[in-house]
Amino acid sequence: MSTHIGKDFIPPDVPGKVTGEIKYAEDYKREGMVFARLLTSPMPSGRVVNIDASEALRMDGVVGVFTADDLPPVPPPGNPALASEYVTYVGQPILAVAAISEEIAESAIDKIRIDFERRDFVVDPIESLSPGGSNAYPEGNVLVRTQEEGPEGAPIVGAEIRDIKWPQSAIDAIKTGKEPVGGEFTTEWAFGDLDAGFADAATIIEEPFVTIGYPHHSLEARTGMAYWENGKCYFHGSSQSQSANNAGLARMLGIDLADLVFINEATGGGFGSKIGPYPFMAITGNFARVLNRPVQLRITREQEFYIGSARSGMQGWIKVGVKADGKVSAVDLVIVNDGGATGGGSGNSSAQHVTVAYQPESMRYRGISVYTNTTPRGAQRGPGQNEMAAVLAPMTDRAAAAINMDRVAFRTRNVLDSDGFQGGSQGPVTSAFVREALAQGARTFGWDEKLAQPKVNGSKVRGVGVGIGYHGAGGRGYDGLLRIAPDGRLFIHSGVGNLGTYSYAGTCRAAAEALQVPWERCEIVNGRSDKHLPHSSGQGGSNTIFTHTRTNWLAAQDAIAKLKEIAAADLGGAADDYGIGDERVYQSADSSIGLTYAEAAQRAMELGGKFSGQEYPDDINPLTQLAVQGLAGTGLIGVAKDNIPGQGQPPGVVVGFCEIEMDKDTGKFEILDYTAIADCGTVVHPKNFDNAMRGGAVWGVGMTALERHVYDPQNGLPANTGLYQNKPPTYKDVNLNTKMGGVNIPDPQNPTGGRGIGEPTQGASAAALASAISNALDGHLFNTAPTTTDMIINHLAGNSYSTKSLKTNTF
């Protein structure tokens, strides 16, 4: 029976959050610390001709100016920390000024004169693809990968910028919702017989769609503080990840792994924007070295909008063929991504969502990602998948209606099961119980009952919707590390970042469970790399629960094997004759013969070698090797690399059910009910599962109804840099009586049965709400994310203004 997995507990950092005592990067001060501020580009596209900082440098209290010349050059398409020659978006950092006070630093910024040369700019990817359209970079307008894409959040490597234009006929086609025949793409794949699939179809829907990017706006802006001591850099950062930062950040600073102490006890949100070391960390660390003083580089809210990354937008076209029995026989999908100033889009992940939602018999995907002179784009919670879910759900409803099929039945007909596939390569999944989730959700929500209720009540109309969110939810090959101290306590070392998901803590429960140690006798060691933390995945891609319950469980198995060996050597018999329990290792035949964990740890220290970390497996990561070396001789060490055999993507799936009441006079709606059921294997930490599910549900409302970039196409200026204008959901925008559940069927490839769930929570909510909006309006398709109140009221008033000319960023 499980003692920890599936049970609630209080993650150790929660009390510090309610008292304000926990520290974020900006809460640290250091003797002699100076304050750095960024000077950023006022224009969307231009060339820096001259920088005159002389007046600023003469100011009392100014200690230095740091420019791109102080950093190794980053050729395009890399995202430089500081622009060297060309600026490609409003808000792009050009230099940093440090002074003894923030006030002086800010005043100094005003004294710096920069001469710019303006360049043409573009904020709409379709415009850039048009004949004669502007290019966001001097080199061109399209990011072409020459090497396979890394994991989400990884910096772009192996890519070049090309200049691609489409014939006017293709531009006209995509703008009017037709296939852009003759348009060039940079990513293409297909499976099955598409022509046969469409020929088999009883109904075909063909629709354009657009989704608009929006900033992450983590509540903590990415402030950092760094100082150097004895050749080591101490870096207080704001990252989603802990260990996954070290190698990249050490490289940015030009130092060995062993010379970087990355400190990040808590992070005020990330949502994909802080997965790995981001370019601006290079300024803080290197500036501190040049000045030989601690430097705090504080990022303002407005700057966080500029440099804090955003979701890629997309404009696309889809054609779906459905057979009379409801099976999706063919999908043809085209996506033009708005890659902003960094060029990367998530069209491939959007296409992956379609494969999961439909399990189509045949499919073709063609994509291209276009640079615009807007903010850098990066991974944002279910990048690609979630926005696709939002626009696909109402179309799915239309397809179901066309063949007279219930919308939940339609989704069940095309559901991802354990023998199903995901993505263009049709790769396997570790297990999937979405069928069960749909059934459980429909029951909990009362789908049939709600459909049977009257729809119209005066000027109010009800809508009910259903949607599916998907994201891969697990990784392999990382390391686990723990120590049984000579007093018998279990120290679980975690290199998992603490961005508010509590997965750093939840995953440690796997070690406690395996070693059968009560939680109050366990301590999680995390938050600074000099606490000897193992190599860990980055906290992106919903992976952590799957990935690190495995590593911690494996480290525990290593410790158990060592406990048994020590006991057998001391007390006789073979290791196999021993079992564990009650913090003892004892003979299975006679439990009175044994050692306590404390005694065994003391023996491990006497024996040395592998038992106490003087020796370690040679397949562990260099970072873990450093960590074990640091712990050597302090107890019984359990350490292992995750080599558990197995294949397939661990899926994270959520199905959402939403009921709204819309006021036809105002276009506003209230969410009356939201129910979501996850297929994420065994729920590891129920209370936190609820919070993750609800947080994602809130994000789904933002995506479908509220949040978007707005750029002025005349001047290329962002119109909504702040929180207030960008409108992340507030208490008043969401339902606060939601019902959350899980299928709770263990995944066979995880010793605890768990998989991650962070991202699909949003996709399900976004999709279910979009489905409900469409349902309230008799199946009208907006084909937009977001679908804002003004679009709804325009539709109700008979204006096609909002949907006639789809555009990302600028409508």
Partner 1 sequence: MYSNTTKNGAMSVNSKLTRRRFIKGVIFSGAAATTGTGMYLAANAQSGQSAAERLVTLNINGRNRPVDVLPSETLAYTLRYKLDMTGTKIGCNRGECGACTVLIEGVPNYSCSVLTHNVKGKAVISIEGVKAADGTLHAVQQAFIAENSPQCGFCTPGQVMSAVALLNNNPRPTRSEAIDAMSGNLCRCGAYEHYINGVMRASGQLA
The tokens for 250 are: 């050490």
| Short-list 392, 467, 399, CA closest to 658 | 467
Q: Is 729 in the site for ligand FES (CB under 6 A)?
A: no
Q: How many degrees, rounded to 5, is the angle at CA 593 between CA 587 and CA 596?
A: 95
139-158 residues in contact with ligand FES (CB under 6 A) are none
Residue 308 in the binding site for ligand FES (CB under 6 A): no
Q: Which of 7, 27, 175, 206 binds partner 1 (CB under 8 A)?
A: 27
Distance in Å, CB of 24 to partner 1, minimum:
7
Interhelix angle 760-776/385-402, rounded to 10 degrees, is 40
- Select the residue interacting with partner 1 from 7, 42, 402, 793 (CB under 8 A): 42
Binding of partner 1 at residue 768 (CB under 8 A)?
no
> Which of partner 1, ligand FES, none does residue 432 bind to, with CB < 5 to 8 Å depending on kind?
none
Cβ proximity to ligand FES, 216 vs 548, nearer residue: 216
The partner in contact with residue 731, picked from partner 1, ligand FES, none with C-beta cut-offs of 5 to 8 angstroms by kind, is partner 1
| 41 near partner 1, rule: CB under 8 A | yes
714-743 positions binding partner 1, by CB under 8 A: 722-724, 728-732, 734, 736-738
Question: In angstroms, rounded to a whole number, what is the distance separating the alpha carbons of residues 633 and 794?
Answer: 71
Chain positions 587 to 606 lying near partner 1, rule: CB under 8 A, are none
Is the Cα torsion angle 560, 566, 569, 570 positive or negative in sign? Answer: negative
Identity of the residue, 193 or 733, whose beta carbon is nearer to partner 1 in the bound complex: 733
548, amino acid identity: H
Residues 406-435, one symbol each (x = binds partner 1 by CB under 8 A, - = not), give ------------------------------
Binding-site size for partner 1 (CB under 8 A) equals 80
The tokens describing 201, both together, are 């179809």
CA-closest candidate to residue 395, choices 507, 341, 317: 317
**32 lies in the binding site for partner 1 (CB under 8 A):** no
Member of 224, 339, 469, 500 binding partner 1 (CB under 8 A) = 500
Instruction: Answer whether 674's CB lies under 8 Å from 509's CB.
Output: no
Rounded to the nearest whole angstrom, what is the least distance from the CB of residue 141 to partner 1 in the complex?
26
Rounded Cα distance between 172 and 183, Å, is: 11
- Closer by beta carbon to partner 1, 17 or else 443: 17
Q: And the tokens for 133? A: 């359209």
Judged by CB under 6 A, the residue of 383, 500, 538, 728 near ligand FES is 500
Q: Which of 84, 107, 587, 596 binds partner 1 (CB under 8 A)?
A: 107
Q: Are strands 203-211 and 421-422 parallel, antiparallel or unpaired?
A: unpaired
**Among residues 260, 514, 698, 770, the one that binds partner 1 under rule CB under 8 A:** 698
Q: Is the peptide bond before 786 cis (omega within 30 degrees of 0)?
A: yes
User: Who contacts 27 (Cβ-Cβ below 8 Å, separation ≥6)?
Assistant: none
Does residue 74 bind partner 1 (CB under 8 A)? no
Stretch 258-277: interaction string toward ligand FES, x if CB under 6 A? -----------x--------
Which of partner 1, ligand FES, none is residue 728 near (CB under 5 to 8 Å by kind)?
partner 1
Region 169-228 residues binding ligand FES, contact defined as CB under 6 A: 219
- HSE at residue 288, side-chain half, CA atoms within 13 A, is 26
Closest CA to 411 of 424, 392, 386: 392
The correct pick among 119, 298, 435, 476 for binding partner 1 (CB under 8 A) is 298
Nearer to ligand FES, 412 or 691 (CB): 691
- Interacting partner of 738 out of partner 1, ligand FES, none (Cβ under 5 to 8 A depending on kind): partner 1
User: Percentages helix, strand, coil for the chain, rounded to the nearest 5?
Assistant: 35, 25, 45
Residue 452 lies near partner 1 (rule: CB under 8 A): no
Interface residues for ligand FES in 346-385 (CB under 6 A)? none
Ranges of beta strands (E only) in 53-186 are 62-67, 86-87, 93-99, 113-118, 142-145, 159-162
300 interacts with, out of ligand FES, partner 1, none, CB within 5 to 8 A per kind:
partner 1
End-to-end CA distance of the chain: 56
Alpha helices in 308-425 (DSSP H): 347-358, 385-402, 407-413
Query: Least distance (Å) from ligand FES to the CB of residue 724?
Result: 10
The answer to whether residue 736 forms part of the interface with ligand FES (CB under 6 A) is no
Closest distance to ligand FES from the beta carbon of 17 (Å) = 8
CB 585 within 8 A of CB 488: no
Number of residues located near ligand FES, criterion CB under 6 A: 3
Strand partners, 462: 661
CB atoms within 10 A of CB 73: 10
Which of ligand FES, partner 1, none has residue 694 at its interface (CB below 5 to 8 Å by kind)?
Answer: partner 1
User: Cα(796)–Cα(662) distance, rounded to whole angstroms?
Assistant: 11
In whole angstroms, how close is the CB of 544 to partner 1 at the nearest point? 14
Among the residue ranges 182-190, 248-256, 534-542, 693-701, the one whose residues contact partner 1 (CB under 8 A)? 693-701
CB of 301 to partner 1, least distance (A): 4
CA 756 to chain centre: 12
- What torsion, rounded to 10 degrees, do the Cα atoms 784, 657, 747, 561 define? 100
Q: What does 499 bind: ligand FES, partner 1, none (CB cut-off 5 to 8 Å by kind)? A: partner 1
Residue 254 to residue 281: CA distance in whole angstroms:
13
How many angstroms separate the CA atoms of 225 and 136, rounded?
Answer: 33
Taking CB within 5 to 8 Å according to partner kind, which of ligand FES, partner 1, none is near residue 730?
Answer: partner 1
Please state, in angstroms and rounded to a whole number, the distance separating the CA atoms of residues 764 and 771.
10
Positions in the binding site for ligand FES (CB under 6 A): 219, 269, 500
